[in-house]
Chains A and B, each alone.
Chain A
Amino acid sequence: MRYAIALMTVALLWTGCRPDIEMYPTATFDTLGVQWMVIERNNMTYYYQGTGVKAASIYSDLHEEAYDRLEAVFNPVLPYKLRYFVWTDWKQAQQLFGTPEWVAGLAFSRSCMCHVRADINLGHEMTHVLAYWAEGVEPNSYSRFINEGVAVAFDQRDHDKMEEAKNTVSQYSLNSITELWADSLETAPHELIYPVGGAFMEYMYSNTTRSEYIALLKNQALPDAEKVFGKERLDRFIADFDSQLGL
């Protein structure tokens, strides 16, 4: 028995060894009433409201990897390096920005800046900025359905987006995704438009060429998208996607 106890002790001590984590904080920065811990990396500059150095270093590692994956998709040419503000007290940010309760992140694409709650999906806000600057060209027109859709499609979550969209539409009375796409007053509930938009933009990524997909990102309004694909072809995409959703 004493040998068993010795074996357990050795094993537990061995498993308790410290891992190697590189520490990256490079500076502090005061703005918005917060002293931010700054981590300067290749792709982005990270600003942390918290002071947990190891977690922030790993967090920035994960985001750098995500950025690399998204960069291969969008080939973004940004006018400035992306600044990524990570809030650990998100209520403070919500008061500051006046956002609704359900919003977990904000992307200011034109100025290459994101403000996020710490646990937001890895790629969502980053995708807003990278898609906006895809190929270094700003969009001609905007649609919430396409804009949020692409951010959900590339949010780096590993889950079945079509299945999620199907489950969501079953709870709403929706006849076609064109109702969401043409919703210029942005009245569609976010619980519906995000998952359906995400599944649609994933569908379009699989069924169009890269240049067509980038053109869609630059011409997000429905009439503009019809010019990109041709009305007949786009209608076929929409009809096929609607039927996959069970509409």
Chain B
Amino acid sequence: MDLAFTPEEQTFRETIRAWVQTNLPADLSHKVHNALRLSRDDMQRWAKILGKKGWLGHGWPKEFGGPGWNSIQKHLFEEECALAGAPRVVPFGPVMVAPVIMTFGNAEQQQRFLPGIASGEVWWSQGYSEPGSGSDLASVKCKAERVGNKFLVNGQKTWTTLGQYGEWIFCLVRTSTEGKPQTGISFLLIDMKSPGVTVRPIVLLDGEAEVNEVFFDNVEVPAENLIGEENKGWTYAKHLLSHERTNIADVNRAKRELERLKRIAKAEGLYADSRFKDEIAKLEVDVVALEMMVLRVLAAEKNGKQSLDIAGLLKIRGSEIQQRYSELMMLAAGPYALPLIQEAMEAGWQGDTVGAAYCAPLASTYFNMRKTSIYGGSNEVQRNIVAQTVLG
């Protein structure tokens, strides 16, 4: 047992840190460190910088042009990016659909789609949830009917994060109503510029249009866009979900945000209030314990061990922590979190924020973070999964 990173891992970290320092645009890290609004351009600018270096698909194996890093190296890369204030990589392309294409797609699909994902040129969206299919994802109804060498897609997806920017969308579609719901689902890649695709943004409680409804009205999709076999899509989707547990815990961002919380609390004079300070201290231990749990999972992966049965806990704990730091930051601002000034979310705005400038986005972030215990399988669904490991 050893808590230390190896000298090689330390050197690796230094290399990443130096590169991020040189290549991360200051205006982007300023926005991230201050929770200001990131435009499509901002997000894609950083994606393309990473793509040029070959690191947008930083989890990819070498045979597909990735760096071939192990789980610890990936973690160190993500940590250095997060601490430096890099925008989060929009995961739908490089982290979510790419591994499915690599594992289950054919050579033509790999050659056709992977380069655009790796470079950050093509914006991908996720078409999973539907109005009637949230936690019960296997009940999806969006229908794809095979007509000759095409699929005809009709139905609706929803909660499509940043889908208003999407160029391609990977969808779970219903190709059969025979047997169990899981066995009639296919994994289809759809060009969002196809006739019949309509995207309608949904304004969330923080006033931002972060998610969308996507409607498919007789959309023609070439059969060559089907991943793997028809009616096997559920298996592919599960494969994708199993890859995302440590990522969704987002402990690196939690560390950065805990540091920001401390700065805000200090600036607001709250370190003199032991009741408030103790709440930060509790969160500090929560973050350390989560990080230890993440490191246990990563170290097991690196050593080629079966993944620990604690992976399901990471999403629950990580999301609770994200909600808690955003809550404490808002509470630290106190009454100055209340003015709703949308312009103050833009970098460089010079108007009156009433409280200190850092107060302006805190309530919006708090509201926004309520999503974390709902998406990716609600925390209640996660508890069902954890209970399965305890009780069978």
Q: Do A and B make up one complex? A: no
